[in-house]
């Protein structure tokens, strides 16, 4: 592969992902009633229950910075227009009584073993730069309790590639309208998504619009009802993008998903570039997430595709 092709390929994959319908896999809607209506994040996270948080690096990838960060923004004018090393993380969250949950799925054992992982041609021909590290099967094998649910930030391919390792019947939670086809729908991705979702039960769309407003966040739902995990509506990158805020034994953690792919994007409050769907909505969601960190400066912020936590937001 030439250098030029090498650079192009991840961009092509991401653009496909950004534009395409995800899946025709069936969905159902679940409304979770939030028992309390806290007005601050300190109050929202004040319950006695803490989750165990285990971040896992499932794969490494390399993609163009202009996809990850909107380089058109004035703040970004000095950034190089090169490729960035990124990771595909899986965040394991263990609840003391409700079991093991994961945020996003990393890569499957089949993909790690070179057996395709359900990624159909021609998408598979664009995956050369992806380097699997630990499969979801391996991650789940060492958990003390069975997988009780998958909490997706969204359904772009780089977040669902571990699905072949998810036991059939496991609840798959997404944001609303996340599977809705777009005008760019085409067949390229459909067979891959059909393979990945094969045998899985319908996705459960969390009705975040029924959530409560907390601080600068418009809609949040108390997933377990004990304040240990909040699901935050974060549309823009995709229609149903979700972020998660957890009270863990390592402190409070915000999982921003691809509302910010990168630490730089978070710290400078610049939304993703070409990989994002609705820029204005993404900017608004990013600002809502920032309000959480402004109230709780000690919170750990994990972006969608970097391994190290983000730093503080730079004052403008």
In the complex, the residues that contact Zn ion under the rule CB under 5 A are 158, 258
Quick one: tokens of 306? 């970097």
295 neighbors 40 (Cβ within 8 angstroms)? yes
Residue whose C-alpha is closest to residue 166's, from 134, 192, 131, 201 = 201
| Nearer to Zn ion (CB atom), residue 64 or residue 158 | 158
Q: What is the closest distance, in whole angstroms, from the C-beta atom of residue 226 to Zn ion in the complex?
A: 29
Distance, CA of 279 to chain centre: 17
| Nearer to Zn ion (CB atom), residue 60 or residue 294 | 60
Respond yes or no on whether the N-terminal peptide bond of residue 165 is cis (omega within 30° of 0).
no
CB atoms within 10 A of CB 259: 33
| Nearer to Zn ion (CB atom), residue 89 or residue 118 | 89
Q: What is the closest distance, in whole angstroms, from the C-beta atom of residue 304 to Zn ion in the complex?
A: 5
Q: What is the closest distance, in whole angstroms, from the C-beta atom of residue 118 to Zn ion in the complex?
A: 18
Q: What is the closest distance, in whole angstroms, from the C-beta atom of residue 158 to Zn ion in the complex?
A: 4
Q: What is the closest distance, in whole angstroms, from the C-beta atom of residue 47 to Zn ion in the complex?
A: 30
| Nearer to Zn ion (CB atom), residue 18 or residue 288 | 18
- Which residues, 6 or more positions from 113, have their beta carbon under 8 angstroms from its beta carbon? none
| Nearer to Zn ion (CB atom), residue 68 or residue 221 | 68
Distance, CA of 293 to chain centre: 18
Residue whose C-alpha is closest to residue 299's, from 310, 307, 288, 308 = 310
Q: What is the closest distance, in whole angstroms, from the C-beta atom of residue 86 to Zn ion in the complex?
A: 8
Strand partners, 300: 253
Q: What is the closest distance, in whole angstroms, from the C-beta atom of residue 195 to Zn ion in the complex?
A: 19
How far apart CA 55 and CA 39 sit, in angstroms, is: 29
| Nearer to Zn ion (CB atom), residue 61 or residue 230 | 61
173 neighbors 241 (Cβ within 8 angstroms)? no
CB atoms within 10 A of CB 280: 9
Query: Would you call 103 helix, strand, or coil by DSSP?
Result: strand
| Nearer to Zn ion (CB atom), residue 45 or residue 150 | 150
Strand partners, 53: 93
């Amino acid at each position: 592969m030439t250098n030029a092709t090498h650079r192009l390929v991840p961009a092509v994959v991401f653009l496909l992902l950004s534009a395409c319908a995800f899946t025709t896999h069936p969905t159902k809607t679940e409304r979770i009633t939030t028992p309390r209506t806290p007005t601050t994040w300190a109050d929202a996270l004040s319950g006695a229950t803490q989750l165990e948080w285990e971040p896992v690096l499932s794969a490494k990838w390399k993609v163009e910075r202009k996809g990850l960060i909107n380089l058109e923004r004035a703040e970004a004018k000095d950034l190089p227009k090169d490729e960035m090393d990124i990771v595909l993380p899986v965040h394991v969250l263990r609840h003391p009584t409700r079991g093991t949950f994961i945020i996003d799925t990393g890569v499957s054992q089949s993909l790690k073993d070179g057996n395709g992982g359900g990624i159909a041609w021609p998408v598979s021909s664009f995956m050369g730069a992806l380097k699997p590290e630990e499969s979801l099967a391996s991650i789940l094998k060492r958990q003390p309790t069975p997988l009780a649910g998958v909490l997706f930030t969204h359904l772009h391919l780089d977040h669902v590639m571990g699905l072949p390792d998810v036991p059939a019947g496991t609840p798959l939670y997404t944001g609303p309208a996340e599977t809705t086809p777009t005008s760019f729908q085409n067949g390229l991705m459909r067979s891959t998504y059909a393979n990945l979702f094969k045998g899985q039960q319908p996705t459960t769309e969390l009705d975040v619009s029924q959530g409560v407003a907390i601080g600068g966040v418009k809609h949040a739902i108390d997933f377990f009802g004990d304040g240990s995990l909040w699901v935050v509506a974060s549309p823009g990158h995709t229609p149903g993008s979700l972020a998660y805020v957890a009270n863990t034994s390592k402190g409070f953690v915000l999982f921003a998903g691809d509302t910010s792919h990168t630490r730089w994007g978070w710290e400078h409050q610049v939304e993703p570039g070409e990989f994002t769907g609705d820029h204005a909505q993404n900017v608004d969601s990013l600002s809502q997430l920032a309000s959480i960190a402004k109230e709780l400066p000690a919170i750990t912020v994990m972006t969608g595709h970097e391994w190290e936590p983000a730093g503080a937001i730079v004052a403008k």
